[in-house]
């Protein structure tokens, strides 16, 4: 019964959240210190759009880490594939936007199939290292082939075949709605994955590989499919990214970006979909705010022992991340759900994977 | 012919540098099952502080060079030891979280280094001899490569002696095989965790100073770039196997140099392809034990 | 007669799975006490729980002092020797190194061990991984006998060994038990009859019976019910079902 109410409550909260986000560009809300401008102006809309793209990426990463227990350091490769794929197609082949998006997504999927099949020869920590190597190769390719990718300079979006409504600062609002659409879509995919047999299998594998094998199921295949869905979702986020930023830079395929996403997911709470979304927002806004802070006069005047660390946003975010890992193991979402909502986690320990709510359980990820 | 010699010898020299990083990673992984993402920043800090010291007492002299190596080693040791005690130990046995804190540390440290030393590379100088060449079979080899080889050989030899003939070495070898049983013999295995971090850190710190002379500059990203190759080396060599890491370091670097020279600068990519091939043919690496 | 080890309401779990449920028993400070039970009922887990090798709750007292909060190496340092179920010798270390690692005191009992297992002296320099199963078991037992322990925890020392070696290992334990009490998990009921004074029977993760070892094994009905075997047939690990 309470389960039923909770499900409805969650659904309601979700829908309300999306509707609110959708209405933001039409409202005049100012949140000084957090958002740079009132919500209807391009400054804030661009920031929030970027946050949503990263939320989508974080959601896709959470499918890997939270649902599948797979620690990847190469997830940015698929994000970059989406971004660069679309950029290259639009620049070189004169294809209209939507078919171009489709081709970019398929390209990302293809790369994921090849690299995923190879990296899944190993699991746990070796898997993490191998995915890192693939992402590095991708990043090298991008930096080297500057005639196609723009090299270090990055690739700017060729807008010739992009509908006018999605181009320029004046249309930030439309891009914002597009980004919102992407994050909602990826959320629904993540929800579906968590509820589906596939998600159950992947989670059960994480818990106890041996038992799954005894049951005659193929754990590797479940994880592989999960990996592909996560990669495809990341490519989707990449597509939104290049449209939003009207270009992309090599950082979009770098290990750095994967680590950034990892930070978002861990801050938000590994294994919680809303945690991933929250992590994406929190990180993007903090990053932006801390950068502003770094340039502020208050910081300038400090002695260098304080000034240098405080003017490096990534130093502060990295430190925050370490503190969360050590002192807040479930991230924000995990802490909220276990501590304040007092859910029946404690006795859920012995319950097994056919618990429909298990997707939301803080995962003790094992290598 | 002399080009081939040049490519091979520089390959071995680069392999020596990889080994300075990979040996520590491999020991740490073998004993603790921790993937140490922060290993690169141990190296970077060693390089920066080594350079700070050397540049103050006349960078082109040998005393400055030798002192900077010592400083690099000590800095690496200290940084690694503190990392183990403060960040790794509280998360005992939680391998994923341990990886995550090292990721966070690397992330934060690189940013801090950029804050202190700027984001542009700092070009460095050393004893003139390092940049001169020695002719070997017709090939003119920069002397810095020989220094790298000597350092890596000395490291390998002392590690082998340490592991084979000391009690702590014995504990580490036993721990790599079966940590629980080591504790069940009444041995506090955590002390050897700190020890392998310290050893790995010192090798990385020394490696940092040498890497700076090899590339000619120090930058906040020096270590993390090398780290990726060190990861590849440890996977190809077989995770946790020191001799595997040694062999793979040389193989990978030679392959990389060959490809750089003969296949139009594709060394970085060939290395990843080699990794893929090894994983397809032999997922546990050259000398790795069967997957546990 | 006093007790050396007191276990009160100890539960143990592996990962999220509870494998021992609130067991309570005590081990007298002399002789050999056998732990009996079907495959998979949690005998090994009980020993590992006592040693802190797996997560456990409840009270464990060694010679009057609580040890359930201590890490494994401290428990062992207080005088607990452990012979694990599958020998767990360090395969890439030599016999001599395996033994040297186990030495905790200034004057380890090397002569005693050499007297029990002369074979091992000859094979000092051999890699433990290349020893036969029986020889590995000797290394494993020897590691526990090198120190003056207050208690030995020995898990199926005769598992998978040829009858002659079973005899040799049983003999060694018998000799050791003159100076140190032993908690012995053993499936070979002949060995139990020969060595053990008391026995504890575990079923479904709990202690269900305790008493004189020979009496328990003499009661055919009891033996069949609790151990799933006939008292006169040595059961060494086959023919019984896993716990559901
Ligand atoms: N790593 C593990 N993960 C999950 N369950 C485990 C694990 N190890 C053991 N178990 C379970 O714990 C229970 C108790 O195991 P334990 O090894 O203690 O039994 P045992 O009585 O020693 O059996 P045996 O006579 O076969 O040695 C068994 O049901 C077993 O399946
Ligand atoms: Mg057992």
Going residue by residue through chain C, which has 244 residues, state the pLDDT in tens, using 9 for 90 and above. Answer: 689 999 999 999 987 788 998 999 999 999 999 999 988 889 999 999 999 999 999 999 999 999 999 999 999 999 999 999 999 999 999 999 999 999 999 999 999 999 999 999 999 999 999 999 999 999 999 999 999 999 999 999 999 899 999 999 999 999 999 999 999 999 898 999 999 999 999 887 778 888 888 888 888 877 887 776 654 444 444 433 333 3
Residue A282's closest CA among A252, A307, A313, A258?
A313
- Distance of alpha carbon A350 from the chain centroid: 31
| Burial of A20 per CB tally in 10 Å (0-12, 13-18, 19+) | exposed
> Which of A128, A140, A309 has its CB closest to that of B99?
A128
Q: How far, CA to CA in Å, does B16 sit from each of B20, B22, B262?
A: 6, 10, 21
> What is the per-residue burial (b if ≥16 Cβ within 10 Å, else e) of B36-69?
bbbbbbbbbbbbbbbbebbeeeebeeeebbebbb
Q: Alpha-carbon distance B291 to A218, whole Å?
A: 18
Q: For residue A127, tell me if it sits in a domain.
A: yes
Strands C32-36 and C182-185: parallel
CB contact (8 A) between residue A325 and residue B97: yes
Name beta bridge partners: C17.
Answer: C14
- C159 Cα nearest atom in ligand 1: 27
Q: For residue A15, tell me if it sits in a domain.
A: no
Q: Alpha-carbon distance A120 to A127, whole Å?
A: 7
Q: How many domains does chain A have?
A: 1
Task: Specify whether the CB–CB gap between A276 and A61 falls below 8 A.
Answer: yes
Q: Alpha-carbon distance B31 to B24, whole Å?
A: 11
pLDDT digits 0-9 by tens, A111-152: 999 999 999 988 888 898 889 889 988 998 898 888 888 888
C53 touches ligand 1 (CB under 6 Å): no
Structure tokens belonging to residue A82: 């989406």
pLDDT at A358: 29
Which residue of chain B has the CA closest to C90? B174
Instruction: Count other Cβ atoms within 10 Å, centred on residue C24.
Output: 15
The CATH code of the domain that includes A104 is 1.10.3470
Structural domains of chain C ordered from first start? 3-227 (3.40.50.300)
Report, as an integer, the average pLDDT of B34-55.
96
3-state DSSP of chain A: CHHHHHHHHHHHHHHHHHHHHHHHHHCCCCCCCCCCCCCCCHHHHHHHHHHHHHHHHHHHHHHHHHHCCCCCCCCHHHHHHHHHHHHHHHHHCCCCHHHHHHHHHHHHHHHHHHHHHHHCCCCCHHHHHHHHHHHHHHHHHHHHCHHHHCHHHCEECCHHHCCHHHCCHHHHHHHHHHHHHHHHHHHHHHHHHHHCHHHHHHHHHHHCHHHHHHCCCCHHHHHHHHHHHHHHHHHHHHHHHHHHHCEECHHHHCHHHHHHHHHHHHHHCCCCHHHHHHHHHHHHHHHHHHHHHHCCHHHHCCCHHHHHHHCCHHHHHHHHHHHHHHHCCCHHHHHHHHHHCCCCHHHHCCCCCCCHHHHHCCCCCCC
Q: For residue A17, tell me if it sits in a domain.
A: no
> Residue A254: which residues within 8 A CB-CB, separation 6 or more?
A76, A80, A135, A139
Structure tokens belonging to residue B53: 């010291």
Residue B111's closest CA among A256, A282, A115?
A256
Half-sphere exposure at residue A355, Cβ-oriented, CA atoms within 13 angstroms: 17
Q: In this predicted complex, what is the ipTM? A: 0.90
Which residue out of C40, C159, C242 has the highest number of ligand 1 atoms within 8 Å of its CB and is therefore the one to mutate?
C40
Report, as an integer, the average pLDDT of B266-279.
90
Please say if the pLDDT value at position B49 is more than 70. yes
pLDDT at C232: 46
Q: For residue A31, tell me if it sits in a domain.
A: no
Neighbours of chain B (3+ CB pairs under 8 A): A, C
Q: What is the DSSP letter of B91?
A: G
Report which protein residue has its CA nearest ligand 1's atom 25.
C39
Which string of DSSP letters, residue by residue, matches C112-147? HHHHH-HHHHHTTTSBGGGS-HHHHHHHHHHHHHSS
C44 touches ligand 1 (CB under 6 Å): yes
Which of the two residues, B169 and A345, has the higher pLDDT score?
B169
Task: Specify whether the CB–CB gap between B75 and B49 falls below 8 A.
Answer: yes
Structure tokens belonging to residue A30: 């100012």
Report, as an integer, the average pLDDT of B45-71.
94
Contacts of B220 in chain A (CB under 8 A): none
Q: What is the DSSP letter of B288?
A: P
pLDDT at A104: 96
pLDDT at C244: 32
Task: Specify whether the CB–CB gap between C208 and C216 falls below 8 A.
Answer: no
Domain edges within chain B: 2-134+176-281
Structure tokens belonging to residue A303: 């002695």
Q: What is the DSSP letter of B60?
A: T
| pTM recorded for the entire structure | 0.86
Q: How far, CA to CA in Å, does C220 sit from each of B243, C201, C206?
A: 58, 14, 21
Residue with token string 């005191």: C105
Q: For residue A106, tell me if it sits in a domain.
A: yes
Q: For residue A4, tell me if it sits in a domain.
A: no
Please say if the pLDDT value at position A351 is more than 60. no
Which residue of chain C has the CA closest to A348? C16
Q: Identify the three-state secondary structure at position C49.
A: helix
pLDDT at A217: 58
Q: What's the pLDDT band for B1 if we cut at 50, 70, 90?
A: confident
Q: For residue A153, tell me if it sits in a domain.
A: yes
Neighbours of chain C (3+ CB pairs under 8 A): A, B
Structure tokens belonging to residue B23: 């040996």
Q: Alpha-carbon distance A214 to A165, whole Å?
A: 55
pLDDT digits 0-9 by tens, A46-93: 999 999 999 999 999 999 999 988 999 999 999 999 999 999 999 999
C39 touches ligand 1 (CB under 6 Å): yes
Q: For residue A109, tell me if it sits in a domain.
A: yes
Please say if the pLDDT value at position A43 is more than 70. yes
Range of the domain at A250: 43-354
Q: Alpha-carbon distance A328 to A266, whole Å?
A: 10
Strands C32-36 and C80-83: unpaired
Report, as an integer, the average pLDDT of B217-245.
92
pLDDT digits 0-9 by tens, A188-216: 999 999 998 888 887 777 766 555 555 55
pLDDT at A212: 57
What is the percent of chain A where pLDDT is above 70? 89
């Amino acid at each position: 019964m309470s389960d039923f109410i909770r499900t409805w409550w969650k659904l309601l909260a979700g829908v309300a959240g999306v509707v609110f986000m959708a209405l933001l560009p039409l409202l005049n809300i100012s949140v000084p210190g957090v958002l740079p401008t009132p919500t209807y102006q391009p400054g804030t809309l661009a920031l929030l759009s970027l946050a949503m793209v990263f939320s989508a990426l974080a959601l896709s990463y959470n499918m890997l880490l939270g649902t599948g227990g797979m620690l990847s350091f190469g997830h940015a490769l698929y994000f970059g594939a989406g971004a660069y794929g679309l950029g290259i197609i639009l620049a070189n082949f004169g294809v209209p936007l939507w078919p171009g998006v489709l081709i970019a997504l398929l390209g990302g999927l293809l790369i994921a199939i090849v690299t995923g099949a190879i990296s899944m020869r190993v699991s746990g920590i070796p898997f993490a290292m191998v995915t890192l190597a693939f992402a590095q190769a991708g990043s090298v390719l991008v930096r080297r082939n500057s005639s196609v990718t723009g090299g270090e300079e990055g690739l700017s979006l060729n807008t010739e075949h992009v509908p006018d409504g999605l181009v320029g600062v004046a249309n930030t609002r439309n891009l914002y709605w597009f980004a919102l659409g992407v994050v909602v879509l990826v959320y629904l995919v993540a929800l579906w994955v968590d509820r589906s047999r596939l998600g159950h299998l992947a989670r059960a594998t994480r818990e106890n590989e041996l038992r799954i094998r005894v049951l005659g199921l193929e754990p590797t295949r479940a994880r592989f499919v999960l990996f592909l869905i996560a990669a495809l979702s990341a490519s989707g986020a990449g597509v939104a990214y290049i449209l939003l930023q009207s270009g992309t830079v090599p950082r979009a395929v770098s290990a750095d970006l994967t680590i950034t996403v990892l930070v978002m997911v861990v801050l938000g709470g590994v294994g919680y979909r809303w945690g991933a979304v929250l992590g994406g927002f929190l990180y993007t806004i903090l990053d932006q705010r801390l950068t502003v802070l770094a340039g502020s006069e208050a910081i300038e005047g400090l002695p260098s022992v304080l000034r240098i660390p405080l003017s490096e946003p990534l130093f502060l975010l990295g430190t925050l991340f370490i503190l969360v890992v050590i002192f807040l193991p479930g991230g924000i979402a995990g802490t909220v759900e276990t501590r304040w909502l007092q859910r029946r986690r404690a006795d859920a320990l012995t319950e097994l994977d056919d618990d429909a709510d298990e997707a939301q359980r803080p995962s003790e990820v094992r290598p | 012919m002399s080009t081939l010699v040049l490519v091979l010898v520089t390959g071995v020299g680069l392999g020596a540098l990889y080994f300075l990083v990979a040996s520590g990673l491999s020991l740490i992984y073998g004993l603790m099952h921790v993937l140490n993402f922060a290993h690169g920043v141990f190296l970077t800090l060693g390089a920066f502080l080594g350079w700070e010291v050397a540049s103050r007492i006349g960078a082109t002299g040998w005393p400055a060079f030798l002192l900077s190596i010592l400083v690099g080693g000590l800095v690496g040791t200290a940084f690694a030891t503190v990392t183990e005690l403060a960040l790794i130990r509280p998360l005992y046995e939680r391998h994923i979280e341990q990886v995550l804190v090292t990721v966070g540390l690397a992330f934060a440290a690189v940013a801090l280094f950029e804050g202190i030393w700027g984001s542009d590379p700092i070009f460095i100088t050393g004893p003139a001899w390092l940049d001169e060449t020695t002719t070997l079979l017709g090939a003119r080899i920069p002397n810095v490569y020989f220094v790298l080889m000597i350092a890596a050989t000395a490291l390998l030899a002392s590690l082998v002696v340490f592991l084979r003939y000391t009690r702590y070495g014995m504990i580490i070898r036993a721990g790599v095989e079966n940590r629980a049983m080591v504790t069940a013999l009444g041995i506090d295995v955590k002390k050897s965790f700190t020890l392998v971090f310290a050893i790995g850190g010192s090798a990385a710190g020394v490696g940092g100073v040498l890497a700076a002379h090899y590339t000619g500059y120090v930058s906040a990203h020096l270590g993390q770039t090398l780290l990726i190759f060190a990861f590849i080396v440890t996977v190809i060599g077989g995770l946790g196997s020191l001799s595997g890491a040694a062999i793979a370091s040389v193989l990978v670097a030679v392959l990389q140099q060959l490809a750089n020279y003969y296949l139009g600068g594709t060394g970085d990519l060939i290395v990843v392809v080699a990794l893929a091939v090894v994983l397809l043919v032999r997922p546990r690496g050259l000398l790795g034990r069967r997957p546990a | 007669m006093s007790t050396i080890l007191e276990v009160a309401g100890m539960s143990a779990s592996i990962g999220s799975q509870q494998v021992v449920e609130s067991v309570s028993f005590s081990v007298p400070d002399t002789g050999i006490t056998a732990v009996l039970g079907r495959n998979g009922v949690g005998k090994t887990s009980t020993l590992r729980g006592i040693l802190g090798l797996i997560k456990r709750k409840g009270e464990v007292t060694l010679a009057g002092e609580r040890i359930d909060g201590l890490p494994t190496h401290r428990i062992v340092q207080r005088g607990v020797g452990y012979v694990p179920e599958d020998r767990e010798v360090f395969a890439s270390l030599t016999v001599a190194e395996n033994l040297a690692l186990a030495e905790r005191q200034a004057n380890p009992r090397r002569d005693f061990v050499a007297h029990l297992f002369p074979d091992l002296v000859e094979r000092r320099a051999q890699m433990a991984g290349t020893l036969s199963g029986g020889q590995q078991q000797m290394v494993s037992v020897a590691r526990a006998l090198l120190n003056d322990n207050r208690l030995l925890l020995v898990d199926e020392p005769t598992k998978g060994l040829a009858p002659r070696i079973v005899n040799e290992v049983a003999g060694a334990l018998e000799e050791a038990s003159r100076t140190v009490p032993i908690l012995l998990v053993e499936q070979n009921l002949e060995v139990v009859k020969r060595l053990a004074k008391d026995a504890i029977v575990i079923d479904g993760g709990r202690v269900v019976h305790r008493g004189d070892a020979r009496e328990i094994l003499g009661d055919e009905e009891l033996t069949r019910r609790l151990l799933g075997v006939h008292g006169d047939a040595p059961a060494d690990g086959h023919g019984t079902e896993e716990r559901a």
